[in-house]
């Protein structure tokens, strides 16, 4: 393709995208293809000769689109949302056209400085003190890895990167048994080892880490010669939205000299609403906090924000300064690639800027408040049905429930999820709560309406009773 054809195709793609969004409700939410269907339609080899763009786009519609699960469908109630509000898509179009690699200040000064300002806006929007400094990471998994590496290096007096872990005291990191698998992965990748990630039981309706058990295990570990390094807390776990008592966790961490990282990948967005902040009281005392604006807030995927109380500790852990990455004559600049595991960085701040300006924080807050209210209403309606039970009450806009039909309830509820997703009108996923298979319901898709949530209620009842 030549650049003179680009404009025409780019405009066609914009029309395609708008049509796609207009017709989303007519499509099955979860792709209905079977394994291998897409592969079977793709040629074995790349073409030697150039092909016309029209053929490529036609094939995209024919081969690829049936295998897409529509995360922007307003009746997407599975996992957590991965939103893409229209202004953030426009920002990504620009980012794609510019395709700047923003690893250093000098590789795009405005990208770095926009990132700095956006994270100041967000820090204030979340009600966090300005003692925090932020950075955009590609994912919560990366942010957690960066935090775990910092815990490790801090505990080893910054010798781990140089000397490796053999011969060192075994590091211990603590969390509840509700945390996301990205915590386990960070522990594997950092060389700490799964055996040294100590998962504590939880207490109370929010399934908060048992602080007394945590205190006891830290003391026991110290006595046994381990090196406690940090605690990973969660606000809004993936399964059922578990929330730790952050105040208690950070008080214990301070007494023990431990680093705290808070995973609020999903629920962090809700903290723009002051009335929800009671649930993470104490967050201001954490050393590191991650949340994903691409989940609930509306920023196009991917965009993960990490706040740090002391970015120097992170830089001391990850920064490497070879001559070819130095910016001579500019000592005061920030090179964000020193704050993350990958060197290369996409220009992600632009979509945050477009998003926050196009809706205002109040516009974004209004959506999340609606989602929470609609989820609560739905849970009340489901609870009133004699053949259903609410297993965990809504935490923000996530709750879990079960169908109480005949037979083995785990099997029945898995069949209900599968039938619902094969039906395609809505999309839900399952998890285990206290050993019981339950169905998760979260409201968070950017364009979801109260009618969509009501439609989900009718669909669930209809499909369940026809099982
Ligand atoms: N933490 C929580 C609570 C999550 O729900 C998820 C993903 O859904 C993650 C971490 C991982 O996020 P990412 O895909 O950005 O690595």
Point out the ligand 1 atom lying closest to the alpha carbon of residue 234.
3
336 lines ligand 1 (CB under 6 A): no
pLDDT above 80 for 330 = no
pLDDT of residue 326: 84
Q: Which domain holds residue 277?
A: 101-346
Q: Tokens standing for 422? A: 């094969």
Ligand 1 centroid to Cα of residue 41, in Å, is 32
Given 299, 315, 346, the domain boundary residue is 346
Ligand 1 centroid to Cα of residue 295, in Å, is 9
Core vs surface per residue 60-86: b (16+ CB within 10 A) or e: eeeeeeeeebbbbbbbbbbbbbbbbbb
Q: Is residue 284 part of a domain?
A: yes
Examine the domain organization and report whether 147 and 177 are in the same domain: yes
**Picking from 125-129, 271-275, 283-287, 327-331, which range would have the lowest pLDDT averaged per residue?**
327-331
Burial grade of 402 (CB within 10 A; 0-12, 13-18, 19 or more):
buried
78 lines ligand 1 (CB under 6 A): no
How high is the mean pLDDT of the chain? 96
pLDDT of residue 327: 82
Examine the domain organization and report whether 278 and 323 are in the same domain: yes
211, 237 contact by CB (below 8 A): no
Query: pLDDT digit string (tens) for 259-308?
Result: 999 999 999 999 999 999 999 999 999 999 999 999 999 999 999 999 99
196 lines ligand 1 (CB under 6 A): no
Examine the domain organization and report whether 309 and 214 are in the same domain: yes
Burial grade of 454 (CB within 10 A; 0-12, 13-18, 19 or more):
middle
pLDDT-derived band of residue 332, with 50, 70 and 90 as boundaries? confident
Ligand 1 centroid to Cα of residue 299, in Å, is 15
pLDDT above 80 for 8 = yes
237 lines ligand 1 (CB under 6 A): yes
Examine the domain organization and report whether 200 and 342 are in the same domain: yes
pLDDT above 80 for 198 = yes
Point out the ligand 1 atom lying closest to the alpha carbon of residue 80.
8
pLDDT above 80 for 313 = yes
Ligand 1: residue of 292, 303, 306, 429 to mutate (most ligand atoms within 8 A of CB) is 292
Q: Look at strands 259-263 and 288-291 and give their pairing.
A: parallel
pLDDT-derived band of residue 365, with 50, 70 and 90 as boundaries? very high
pLDDT-derived band of residue 195, with 50, 70 and 90 as boundaries? very high
424, 32 contact by CB (below 8 A): yes
Average pLDDT (183-200) is 98
Alpha-carbon distance of 288 to 304, in angstroms, equals 13
137, 318 contact by CB (below 8 A): no
Q: Is residue 400 part of a domain?
A: no
Ligand 1 centroid to Cα of residue 296, in Å, is 12
Burial grade of 50 (CB within 10 A; 0-12, 13-18, 19 or more):
exposed
Examine the domain organization and report whether 70 and 150 are in the same domain: no
Given 346, 368, 398, the domain boundary residue is 346
Q: Tell me how many domains the chain contains.
A: 2
pLDDT above 90 for 325 = no
Examine the domain organization and report whether 157 and 272 are in the same domain: yes
Alpha-carbon distance of 63 to 51, in angstroms, equals 16
Cβ atoms < 10 Å from Cβ of 288: 27
> Among 437, 426, 442, which Cα is nearest to 403's?
437
DSSP string, 384-443: TSTTEEEEEEEETTEEEEEE--SS-HHHHHHHHHHHHHHH-SSB-EEEEETTEEEEEEE-
Q: Is residue 388 part of a domain?
A: no
Given 314, 346, 378, the domain boundary residue is 346
Q: Look at strands 304-308 and 388-395 and give their pairing.
A: unpaired
Q: Is residue 260 part of a domain?
A: yes
pLDDT above 90 for 322 = no
182, 140 contact by CB (below 8 A): yes
pLDDT of residue 2: 87
Share of the chain above pLDDT 90, in %: 96
pLDDT of residue 207: 97
Q: Is residue 105 part of a domain?
A: yes
Q: Is residue 96 part of a domain?
A: no
Find tokens 């730790």 and name the residue: 244
Q: Give me the CATH number covering residue 160.
A: 3.40.640.10
Examine the domain organization and report whether 167 and 230 are in the same domain: yes
Q: Is residue 93 part of a domain?
A: no
pLDDT of residue 278: 97
Query: pLDDT digit string (tens) for 389-422?
Result: 999 999 999 999 999 999 999 999 999 999 999 9
């Amino acid at each position: 393709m030549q650049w003179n054809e680009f404009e025409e195709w780019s405009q066609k793609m914009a029309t395609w995208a708008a049509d796609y969004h207009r017709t989303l409700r007519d499509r099955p939410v979860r792709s209905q293809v079977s394994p291998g269907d897409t592969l079977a339609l793709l040629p074995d080899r790349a073409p030697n000769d150039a092909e016309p763009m029209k053929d490529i786009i036609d094939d995209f519609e024919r081969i690829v689109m049936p295998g897409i699960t529509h995360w922007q469908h307003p009746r997407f109630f599975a996992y957590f949302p991965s939103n893409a509000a229209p202004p953030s898509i426009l920002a990504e179009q620009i980012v794609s056209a510019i395709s700047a690699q923003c690893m250093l200040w000098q590789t795009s000064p405005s990208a770095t400085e926009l990132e700095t300002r956006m994270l100041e806006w967000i820090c204030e929007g979340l009600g966090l003190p300005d003692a925090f400094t932020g950075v955009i990471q590609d994912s919560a998994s990366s942010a957690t890895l960066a935090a775990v590496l910092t815990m490790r290096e801090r505990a080893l007096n910054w010798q781990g990167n140089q000397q490796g872990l053999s011969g060192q005291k075994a590091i211990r990191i603590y969390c509840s048994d509700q945390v996301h698998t990205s915590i386990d992965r960070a522990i594997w990748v950092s060389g700490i080892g799964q055996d040294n990630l100590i998962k504590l039981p939880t207490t109370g309706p929010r399934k908060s880490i048992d602080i007394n058990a945590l205190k006891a295990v830290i003391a026991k570990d110290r006595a046994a010669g381990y090196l406690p390094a940090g605690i990973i807390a969660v606000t809004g776990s993936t399964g059922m939205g578990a929330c730790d008592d952050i105040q208690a966790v950070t008080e214990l961490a301070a007494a023990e000299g431990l680093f705290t990282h808070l995973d609020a990948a999903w629920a962090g967005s809700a903290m723009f609403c002051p009335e929800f902040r009671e649930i993470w009281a104490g967050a201001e005392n954490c050393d590191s906090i991650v949340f994903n604006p691409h989940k609930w807030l509306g920023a196009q995927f991917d965009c993960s924000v990490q706040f740090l109380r002391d970015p120097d500790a992170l830089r001391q852990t990850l920064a490497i300064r070879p001559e070819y990455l130095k910016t001579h004559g500019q000592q005061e600049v920030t090179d964000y690639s020193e704050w993350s595991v990958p060197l290369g960085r996409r220009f992600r701040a632009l979509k945050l800027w477009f998003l926050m300006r196009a809706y205002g924080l109040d516009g974004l807050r209004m959506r999340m408040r609606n989602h929470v209210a609609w989820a609560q209403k739905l849970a009340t309606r489901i609870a009133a049905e004699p053949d259903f039970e609410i297993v965990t009450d809504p935490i923000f806009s996530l709750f879990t429930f079960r169908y109480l039909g005949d037979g083995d309830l785990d099997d029945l509820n898995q069949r209900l999820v599968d039938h619902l997703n094969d039906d395609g009108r809505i999309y839900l996923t399952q998890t285990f709560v206290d050993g019981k298979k339950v169905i998760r319901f979260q409201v968070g898709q950017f364009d979801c309406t109260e009618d969509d949530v009501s439609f989900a209620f009718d669909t669930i009842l209809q499909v369940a009773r026809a099982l």
